[in-house]
Structure 1
Amino acid sequence: MASAPAHPAGPAAGRRAGMTRIELIALVSGATCVAGLVLAVVALFGTRRPSGATPGGAGGLRRLWTDGGAGRADRRRRRVLLGGAVVAGAAAFLFTGLPVVGLLVALAVPGVPWLFAVGGAEQRAIARVEAVGEWTRRLKDISATGQGLQQAIIGTISTAPEEIEEEVRTLAARLQAGWSARTALLAFADELADPVADQVVAALILHLTDRGERLGDVLGSIAGAASAEVATRREVEAKRTQPRFAVRFLTGMTLATLAYGLVNSDYIRPYRTPVGQLVMAVLGAAFVGLLIWVRSMSQPPRPARFLPAPDPEEAIA
């Protein structure tokens, strides 16, 4: 008797089962990549935990959501970027079915503004040094009228440059609250965190100890040195503009290629296998690592300060 023919659905069912296993492996691989990224973020933010903070990853993630800078606008901007990263990453994953693509898109939402904003911190630091020079000149003019140092500092509140207005108001408030002048000045220098501010504060502290009559000359020379420092830093920043533009251009071209791949199924078809997802994850991690490395190379070294941190126990005179 002739044998019964094989059911045609058998091989198709086997292929569908094989595809299901491949998709499951891809999903597990993508979830592993996401988990590794989350652990890396927790580890990075956890190492900068202030003393006394609650240990654990929850505190690091909470600071990632709540800490975006000194102002409310910075925190709102960070929350918008993080929310947009989650939405964009989920949309990219649902559109392509590739978890690594969703992860890369989620990283690109906050990463691109972070990369393109390079140089902004240096510009703000230069503006603060220039403001310190202006404030030093105004302090010199007020102290030349015969007022004491503390009264002269308080008198500069209304004319303090906008870049350091908050720090000057805090300094005056501490002096009026009974802080020792030395501790208040050291706290002022610590908040500005710049060698030029250290020079001004060191001159003021020396004046408190020896009561010399050449404070105006010293402040004038420091203000002149601040102007020269501002000119030097601006010249250096101008030379960094070209390599930063090159990095931004290459990043934009890479993102355009990725966007083309999202809408072209033939382009990303080789990456739909588990091996393809692994290759995409490795290439994406290498590219992100190179961008971080190049950005760190374009950053100037932090200026070395010479004044110590204030001692809270010596705050009240």
Structure 2
Amino acid sequence: MGVIVGLTLGAGVLLIWLSFFPEAEDRGSPRADRIRDQLVQAGWPGVGPGAFLALSVMVGLVTAIVAAVLTGSFAIGGAFGVIASLLPTAVVRSRAAKRRTVFHDLWPEAIEDMLSAVRAGMSLPEALGSLSERGPEPMREHFGAFAADYAITARFDESLDLLKERFADPVADRVVESLRITREVGGTDLGATLRSLATMLRADIRTRGELRARQSWTVNAARLAVAAPWAVLALLGTRTDAAAVFDSALGVLVLTGGGVLSALAYWLMIRIGALPEDRRVLR
């Protein structure tokens, strides 16, 4: 118990220490960009990839030690430590996917509100900033930040870039770049452009909604199939004699093989049933 308390305290001190050192921007790694985008989409823009990795490692270590103490088997503790280290990633991806779906569904409404503001005589920056008060509730914070940025700098392009980073989403990228091009080109096509964009997004939402409903059973089946053998292992770990068997060379080999096969099977099932995701090509 003293080891667990000490490790938990050490993990907390490490996380507090890391919070005093903002992570430098590194745009050279596509994987780091992807993790950063997922953290932003999940609603945690202040957490960098490095701090998130440290958190995952700490969760895995604490879980491994607790499981080893409870079961008396280092092999079982290590197995559950590896599983626990993946939980933060699973939570972030799940939360990011839910928020991304919510934002996708709200973009047509936001565009129509913007179009109404333009028809009322507002300029494009003013119409975009007005969404902080009249736009969809979950998006108001981002549009309020845009309005504040534009009020301070009066630079539309830079404020749009910051807005894209706050959403970190391909749909937001397309909308923002459409607004940028429309403002640069000028003319009277803004209304037609916004209407076409809203229509296109609604069609995409309908299609994805139908496909997502059919895909859900595949995802749930994959999760159940992967979790079942490890739930059995957890029950076996409550028996000291059964848990001790896994500390042998053969037991470690069985756990390693089971982990590899579980990961491969889950990846294949998710890959087969996954919908194609948009990539951020307009960063």
Which residue does the alignment assign to 1:208? 183
Tell me which residue corresponds to 1:276. 251
State the Cα distance separating 1:246 from its structure 2 match: 0.9
Q: Which residue is 1:223 aligned to? A: 198
Structure 1 residue 93 and structure 2 residue 81: aligned?
A: no
| Normalised TM-score (structure 2) | 0.70
CA gap 1:162/1:89 in 2 versus in 1, 3 angstroms: same
**How big is each residue's C-alpha offset from its partner over 1:97-136, in whole Å with a ceiling of 9 and x where there is no partner?**
3211001122333545755886553332221122222111
- Of 211-220 and 200-209, deviating more is 200-209
The 3 A distance-change label for structure 1 pair 178 and 120 is closer
Q: In the TM superposition, what whole-angstrom CA distance separates every residue of 1:236-258 from its partner, at most 9, and x where no partner exists? A: 21122111111122133212210
> Which piece of structure 1 moves more, 196-205 or 216-225?
196-205
SS at match of 2:77: helix
CA contact (8 A) 1:91 1:102 kept: yes
Identical counterparts, % of pairs:
21
CA–CA distance in 1 between the matches of 2:203 and 2:82?
A: 40
Unaligned 5+ segments in structure 1 are 1-48, 54-62, 310-317
How far apart are residue 146 of structure 1 and its match? 1.6
Out of 120, 126, 144, the position equivalent to 2:101 is 126
Alignment of 1:150-161 (within 5 A): 150-161=125-136
- Please tell me the residue identity of whatever aligns with 2:230: L
Query: Structure 2: 5+ residue runs without aligned partners?
Result: 1-22, 28-35
Distance between the aligned counterparts of 1:68 and 1:184, measured in 2? 19
Q: Do 1:115 and 1:295's aligned partners in 2 also have CA atoms closer than 8 Å?
A: no
SS of structure 2 residue aligned to 1:173: helix
Q: Please report the RMSD computed on the Cα atoms of aligned residues, expressed in angstroms.
A: 3.8
Over 3 Å counting, the alpha-carbon distance change for 1:271 and 1:190 in structure 2 is: closer
1:165-176 correspondence to structure 2 within 5 Å: 165-176=140-151
Counterpart of 1:71 in structure 2 is: 44
Query: How many residue pairs align between the two structures?
Result: 248
Residue matched to 1:5: none
Kept in 2: contact 1:119–1:299 (CA 8 A): no
8 Å CA contact 1:143, 1:152 repeated in 2: yes
Please identify the structure whose Cα radius of gyration is greater: 1
- Mapped to 1, the partners of 2:136 and 2:63 lie a distance apart of 41
Contact 1:100 1:281 in 2 (8 A): no
SS in 2 for 1:263: coil
- 1:162 CA drift (Å): 2.8
In the TM superposition, residue 52 of structure 1 has moved relative to its aligned partner by 6.6
For residues 193 and 111 of structure 1, what CA distance do their matches in structure 2 show? Answer: 23
Q: What TM-score comes out, normalization by structure 1 length?
A: 0.64
